[in-house]
Amino acid sequence: MTPGAGAHSLDWHGTGQALLDAKLRAIEGARSSVRMETYTFRDSDIGLRFRLALTAAARRKVRVRLIVDAVGSFGLGRDYFDELEDAGGGMRWFNELGLASVAFRDHRKLLVVDETLALVGGCNIAPEYYGDGIITGWRDGGVSVRGPAVAVLAAEFERQWERARGRRWTFPPGGVRWKAAAGGGGGVEALFIKPGFGRNPLRDALRRDLAAARNVAITSAYFLPSHRLRNQLSRAVARGARVRVLLAGRSDVPLMQLASRSLYRALLGKGIEIWEYQPQVLHAKSIVVDDIVFVGSSNLDPRSLRINFEIMLRIQDVPLATEVRRQFEADVAQRSTPITLDSLQSWGSRWERLKQRVAYWLLARLDPELAALELQAWRRRRDRLVQRVKGVR
């Protein structure tokens, strides 16, 4: 850990392997508590290492709690964590399959140990994340934090633990407007994104930071920003800022890649620079705005910003921003292909453009609309339940 961000100590993990190894070390060294939350947990070598580490911690009388998303880990047997629970650990599946709430997923990747150390990033517990992102494994990573922000993240985990108790969890008042400042030096903020279609803490923070930005570097696995966010990026360029976006040349979600590419011509026309990462699948989620770093589980797409549960950290720290930007520069210069208006001509068949438009409509229009209808139905059922409870009283 290195000093940074006021009262916080920070450590950047620039590969999936580095982040997952740091998580394993933290669990193995835990003395009092382990709180872990993940979208995908796959039965694999790395999955077994985590299961064994969590179980060993529980046997040491460490208080272990694990939340796993039911859709993200759909292929995992429901008895997979029996040994952990037999050892005294706790495990809950988040939002078991059901038509009433299938859209709303826990996409967070969070580990809090002993209420002194937290790790966030994009890595799931699966073998494709365990590598350097160049020769092996997907390009991913995250950050370790010590300091006041850890208590904020631990408290939010406990709220999610209660939501995972069953299917009657509710959405917070005001939709998704949840943000917690971590105190101390004020350099770290935890941004909690929740399902809803109102204001969003990540969008709000980005809007403020982009208003005065000079140098913006975005690494995004799934990039489908709203019209408003695209305008904010364009206005930053018009003011003289440099805005660069690193996207997936190899994607695990081809439909999202098609949808993202439907925006390329308009973005390039506004002066936004685009690269596509080539060696491996790009799964990282980080944004550097001058000396501010955003890092966590959220992509810049409708599902992350409006439908899923996500966690992002906003960290204002010059050394960390320098390190993350240095990795971005290396990725762009050594491992990525620049996208230009001329190069788009080779992608310009009518069939390709049609596929891109259809993909955009499905992911940017249809998916959010279906989730909005599901959210409205969910709230109506919740309100009826509340009225019945009041009637009984």
Judging by DSSP bridges, how do beta strands 33-38 and 63-69 pair with one another?
Answer: parallel
Alpha helices in 213-361 (DSSP H): 227-238, 254-261, 264-269, 302, 318-335, 341-344, 350-360
Quick one: which of 345, 299, 244, 290 has its CA closest to 108? Answer: 299
Domain holding 30, by residue range, is: 2-97+105-345
Q: What does the alpha-carbon distance between residue 96 and residue 116 come to, in Å, rounded to a whole number? A: 31
Residue 199 has pLDDT above 90, yes or no: no
385 — pLDDT class (breaks 50, 70, 90): low
- Which ranges of 72-116 would DSSP assign to H, the alpha helix? 82-86
Q: What is the DSSP letter of 303?
A: I
Please compute, for residue 188, the number of CA atoms within 13 A of its CA located in the half-sphere on the CB side.
Answer: 31
pLDDT, one tens digit per residue, over 267-312 is 999 999 999 999 999 999 999 999 999 999 999 999 999 899 999 9
Q: Is residue 11 part of a domain?
A: yes
361 belongs to a structural domain = no
At 380 the pLDDT is 75
Taking only the tens place, the pLDDT of each residue in 203-238 is: 999 999 999 999 999 999 999 999 999 999 999 999
Q: Look at residue 22 in the predicted model and tell me its pLDDT.
A: 98
In a domain, 352, yes or no: no
Beta partners for residue 38, in sequence order: 68
Instruction: Give the model confidence (pLDDT) of 366-381 as tens digits.
Output: 998 988 888 777 777 7
Q: Is residue 217 part of a domain?
A: yes
CATH of the domain at 117: 3.30.870.10
How many structural domains are present in the chain?
1
pLDDT at 178 over 60: no
Q: Whole-angstrom Cα distance, residue 360 to residue 363?
A: 5
Q: Answer whether residue 294 is part of any domain.
A: yes
Mean pLDDT of 1-12: 79
3 state DSSP class of 246 = strand
63-95 per-position pLDDT tens digit: 999 999 999 999 999 999 999 999 999 999 998
Residue 350 covered by a domain? no
pLDDT at 166: 67
Q: How distant, in Å, are the alpha carbons of 41, 112, 180, 241 from that of 294? A: 24, 18, 14, 18
Is residue 57 within 8 Å of 64, Cβ to Cβ?
Answer: yes
